[in-house]
Chains A and B, each alone.
Chain A
């Protein structure tokens, strides 16, 4: 319990300095770097162009609403090929991968995901020019009082 509480307090204070923290975290997170390498094949991932929209406080970790929007004109020559959603503190960090193309018209997906813990939800997007971009959002998952046995 106390470890949870500490984590909760740490993430609360981290939220206060979120912009700096996110960048710093992205630069010095070996697990994330390894995951990203696996997904991109080692291509550098830049921060930006990807917006991850989740409530900062999730009602229940079993079902957290998620919307990912990538800034792209979605034309034949300039579009998003793929969006991959990561939740590093889940037992299986790769949540889902979506293939898009010029037919999509808009690079946006909405779904609901499971989060095993308080964490950053990261989305990385592969563009038609071969570049990778990423965005993230911090989500606090609260505990329910009346759990069923």
Chain B
């Protein structure tokens, strides 16, 4: 099943507002240290990179390792300067990719 994610971006903001952005992704963030039921190590597989672009410009990037909890969640901030779209992209060690987008209307 594809990676399921939830994102939270305010629908609207005033120009200059600093808005909180939240993202949560369903992913085991396998450390590579955990054994399976047969005692074999499960291969490390974590979401290693997540980016957030705001109207095409990268405004946030997370490079993550096995020290990030399973089903990773992140909150960061962005200054609202114009109406447009946020695009989130991420990839895990196995090469599987995920993407989500959200629109923001900026007034003032």
Contacts and interface: CB of A to CB of B under 8 A. Distances in A.
A–B direct touch in complex (beta carbons closer than 8 A): yes
Contacts of B66: 90-92, 114
Contacts, number: 91
Interface in A86-126: 87, 90-106, 108-115
B67 A87 contact: yes
Interface string B3-35: 000000000000000110000000000010100
A99 B77 contact: no
A117 to B, nearest CB: 12
Contacts of A112: 68-69, 72-73
Interface residues of B, number: 27
A92 B77 contact: no
Contacts of A101: 59
A9 to B, nearest CB: 26
Given A62-B70, A103-B59, A108 B76 contact: yes
A94 B73 CA distance: 17
A65 to B, nearest CB: 9
A85 B72 CA distance: 15
Given A97-B62, A103-B54, A109 B75 contact: yes
Contacts of B58: 99
Specify the main secondary structure of chain B where it touches its partner. strand
B61 A98 contact: yes
Given A96-B67, A113-B69, A104 B78 contact: yes
A114 B77 contact: no
Nearest to A102: B79
A115 B69 CA distance: 9
A136 B19 CA distance: 26
Interface of B: 18-19, 31, 33, 54, 57-70, 72-79
7 contacts: A63-B69, A94-B67, A95-B65, A95-B68, A100-B76, A103-B60, A114-B31
The 5 closest A-B pairs by CB, nearest first: A95-B67, A105-B79, A105-B18, A99-B61, A110-B75
Interface of A: 62-64, 74, 85, 87, 90-106, 108-115
